[in-house]
Structure 1
Amino acid sequence: MVDYTEPLPAVNTRRLRVAQGLVLLFHITGFVGLAFADDPSFYLRFTPLTLLLTAGLLFSFQPGRGAAFWSFCIVAALLGFTAEVIGVHLSWFFGHYRYGDTLGYKVFDVPLAIGLNWLVLTYSCGILARYIPLPELPRTILAALLMLGLDMCMEPVASTYDFWHWTANVIPFQNFRDWFILACILQMLFNRANFTKANPLVPLVYLTQLLFFFLLGALQ
């Protein structure tokens, strides 16, 4: 396995600032709409588009988007999506839950956006964990905990905005346990994929999403 730690190529500062501004615009607009609008449904309809645009901006700053990078993206998205399909239909993973309509078009009762969400989270948290010089196992655990932390901020608002719904409105411990296990598996996959693990947009994307859901939950 190659552990890429070489410096990033020079980044166009103006391009980075524009991307950061767009990420902030997407999330601030969504937050204000969901938190304070009389009818948040108008803003909810843009949720899949916001995730897609954020992912596009994020990956545009990935150096050397070659076969190894895109192979990782496909496998991570498919693995996350497959786990959700099994979870929804068999309750083997996460617990008893179903998806609402906010996250968009579904296949096997799971929104396609969920696969992209698992990919973005794995990629972002995997890169964030590399800001601290750690051996692979502690780095994997740290990245998985970062992923779990975002899920814990999302859960309190998920049913309110029709993302997903738990049976009897009870979030089971199984959800967090299985989230962490799957996150560890995805992070091991990330660590072994041979592409440059650095992206200057990642810290803002993760922090913005974390604050977005945390503040929504705090206002409930």
Structure 2
Amino acid sequence: MNNELSFSVVKSNTSIFAIWLVTISGMTGIWLGYGAWFLPKTPLNLLLGLALLYWNFPLKNVWPGMLIWSLVYITGMGVEMIGVNTGLLFGDYWYGENLGPKLANVPLLIGINWVVLTFITATIAKRFVSNPWIAPVCGAALMVALDFFIEPVASVFDYWHWNAGYAPLRNYIDWFVVAFVLQVLVKNYVPQAKYPLPLHHFATQVLFFVFFYLINK
């Protein structure tokens, strides 16, 4: 039992170090003018984040867990396809090239991004909020708060672009609604995390986008 606990601590600390190393390296490289090299590697960063989360929090009930997280992926991709191709959700926008290959004009890794963000915010909310219905609200609010800082730099990084040149209010409203539905869907499938990897993962995202939000204002 002690060996298992020690290995869990090692996994957590190693993953936290890796997440911070990649984030700080990317921030520094882009800031120094090497964005053309770093930004196309964004898909690798997303996949690394997913892999580290799964390494630390493997599915206990494999088939129900796979079903739930597959639904998160499909929902994330689905709402983005509706948004990009019709403008009925989020607003009128289109994806650039730095998020990798696309299906129906949406990068395949956007679904992974929805999975990762839903997992880390739901885990953080569950850790700090005991009420099972308030926690999803808090998790969705964390997702929208992060999106607020992503939006102003998304076009600079050629992630996505708004036809109007900025994210409309409806983007944040729709984001909250979709995020809340996903938070409710996964609330029984996220761990009561003893180790702080999800918090660090979220913190690196906030730091990265707030930094570039401030220097691009």
Normalised to the residue count of structure 2, the TM-score between the two structures is: 0.92
Q: Which residue of 2 aligns with 1:6?
A: none
Moved over 3 A (4+): none
1:80 matched to 2:80? The reply is no
Give distance in 2, aligned partners of 1:170 and 1:54.
28
The 1:63–1:109 alpha-carbon spacing in structure 2 relative to 1, beyond 3 Å, is closer
Higher relative contact order (CA 8 A, sep 6+): 1
SS for the counterpart of 2:94 is strand
Cα separation, 2, equivalents of 1:64 and 1:104: 27
Aligned position for 2:38: 43
Query: Structure 1 unaligned runs (5+)?
Result: 1-8
Question: Which residue does 2:133 correspond to in 1?
Answer: 137
Root-mean-square deviation (Å):
1.5
Which residue number in structure 2 is paired with residue 53 of structure 1?
A: 48
The CA deviation at 1:15 is 2.5
The 5 Å alignment of 1:128-167 reads: 128-167=124-163
Say yes or no: does 1:198 pair with 2:197. Answer: no
**Contact 2:93/2:160 (CA < 8 Å) preserved in 1?**
yes
Q: Is the 8 A contact 2:83 2:91 kept in 1?
A: yes
1:208 pairs, out of 204, 207, 210, with 204
Change in CA separation of 1:71 and 1:34 when aligned onto 2, cut-off 3 Å: same
Measure, in 2, the Cα distance between the counterparts of 1:199 and 1:48.
Answer: 28
Corresponding residue of 1:25: 21
User: How many residues were matched structurally?
Assistant: 210
Q: Tell me if structure 2 keeps the 8 A contact 1:62–1:199.
A: no
| Counterpart among 97, 102, 106 of residue 101 in structure 1 | 97
Q: Is the 8 A contact 1:127 1:199 kept in 2?
A: no
CA 1:64–1:104: 2 relative to 1, 3 Å: closer
Per-residue deviation at 1:14? 2.4
Letter in 1 for 2:204: T
| Cα distance in 1, alignment partners of residues 71 and 48 from structure 2 | 20
CA contact (8 A) 1:48 1:104 kept: yes
Runs of 5+ consecutive residues of structure 2 not aligned to the other structure: none
Q: Which residue of structure 1 lines up, in the alignment, with residue 169 of structure 2? A: 173
Question: Which digits, 9 at most, give the CA deviation of each residue in 1:168-195, with x for residues without a partner?
Answer: 20210010000000000000101144x6
CA shift, 1:63, in A, is 4.4
| Percent of aligned pairs sharing the same letter | 33
TM-score, with structure 1 as normaliser: 0.90
Q: 1:75 to 1:111 in 2, by over 3 A?
A: same
Q: In 2, are the aligned partners of 1:64 and 1:196 still within 8 Å (CA)? A: no
- Displacement of 1:71 after TM fit? 1.6
Provide, for residues 141-162 of structure 1, a one-character-per-residue CA deviation record: whole Å limited to 9, x for no partner. 1010011111111011000010
Structure-1 separation of matches of 2:43 and 2:111: 11
Q: 2:6 and 2:82 mapped to 1: Cα distance?
A: 41
Whether 1:91 aligns to 2:84 is: no
Distance 1:75 1:126 in 2: 15
- State how far apart, in whole Å, the 1-side matches of 2:129 and 2:177 are: 22
**Conserved? CA contact 1:86–1:93, under 8 Å:** yes
